Amino acid sequence: MLTVVITATLTSAVWIVAGGSLIELADGEHQRDATHPADAAPSPTPSPNEDGAVRRADAVGAAAARAPDAIELRELIVPVLNVRAQDLSDTFTDERADAQRLHEAIDIMAPRGTTVIAAAPGRIEKLFRSKAGGNTIYVRSNDGQTIYYYAHLDKYAEGLREGQRIRRGQRLGSVGSTGNASEDAPHLHFAILRTTADADWWEPANAVNPYPLLTAKAP
């Protein structure tokens, strides 16, 4: 009986320690580094198939990711100054990492230093520098269910801070090529992520294609 009690006690202790380690791993800094959405560089030229047709990846989980509602859509604007909706390219389903994943964002090409503005109003959830995304901004919508993600920024706007409420069209920074973007192709990596109000900024979320939303009102 004594042996059984000792064994059970030791087993419980091991699971407590292991469980605490797993919780720390799930909420640690390295986990946040691993779950940010900007593993993005300028869109490569798609390779044609044998029949000459350009191969495109299919969208993943589109049905599970609800697009912003009508109010949000009316508020949405192109987040790079002087870039028109008709100038955008749909790079959402472009392949990355040797076809291991999809882009799930659009690249808005513009000269370095071009002003980046808020596509929609909200609150700055996080200013974060990552290896892939460089200088990034996570802006959470007013209802908490959408995160607008801006990456590869050259610089942040002066005075920008976490927790700050921002209006649509407010200056956030400037176009650049920080992170893994090519120095020869500065651009804004822009993503729209559907989440829940209680989810952290770094948690995985459902990506929604910004292209049809930004071009819906284009002439």
Kindly state whether residue 198 falls inside one of the protein's structural domains. Answer: yes
Kindly state whether residue 67 falls inside one of the protein's structural domains. Answer: no
Nearest Cα neighbor of 173 from 186, 159, 157, 191 is: 157
Kindly state whether residue 79 falls inside one of the protein's structural domains. Answer: no
- Which of 172-207 are b and which e, b meaning 16 or more Cβ less than 10 Å from the residue's Cβ? bbbbbbbbbbeeeebbbbbbbbbbeeeeebbeebbb
- How far is residue 130 CA from its own chain's centroid? 12
In angstroms, the CA 213 to CA 181 distance is: 24
Q: What is the pLDDT of residues 107-138, one digit of tens each?
A: 999 999 999 999 999 999 999 999 989 999 99
Question: 60 or 75: whose pLDDT is higher?
Answer: 75
Kindly state whether residue 199 falls inside one of the protein's structural domains. Answer: yes
Q: Taken in order 128, 132, 133, 139, is the CA torsion positive or negative?
A: negative
Kindly state whether residue 147 falls inside one of the protein's structural domains. Answer: yes
Do 43 and 94 meet the contact criterion of CB atoms below 8 Å apart?
Answer: yes
Question: 200 or 48: whose pLDDT is higher?
Answer: 200
Do 105 and 191 meet the contact criterion of CB atoms below 8 Å apart?
Answer: yes
Q: What is the pLDDT of residues 157-212, one digit of tens each?
A: 999 999 999 999 999 999 999 999 999 999 999 999 999 999 999 898 899 999 99
The per-residue pLDDT of the chain, averaged, comes to 76
Which CATH number fits the domain that encloses residue 144? 2.70.70.10
For residue 122, what are the domain limits? 85-213
Could you give the number of structural domains in the chain? 1
Kindly state whether residue 53 falls inside one of the protein's structural domains. Answer: no
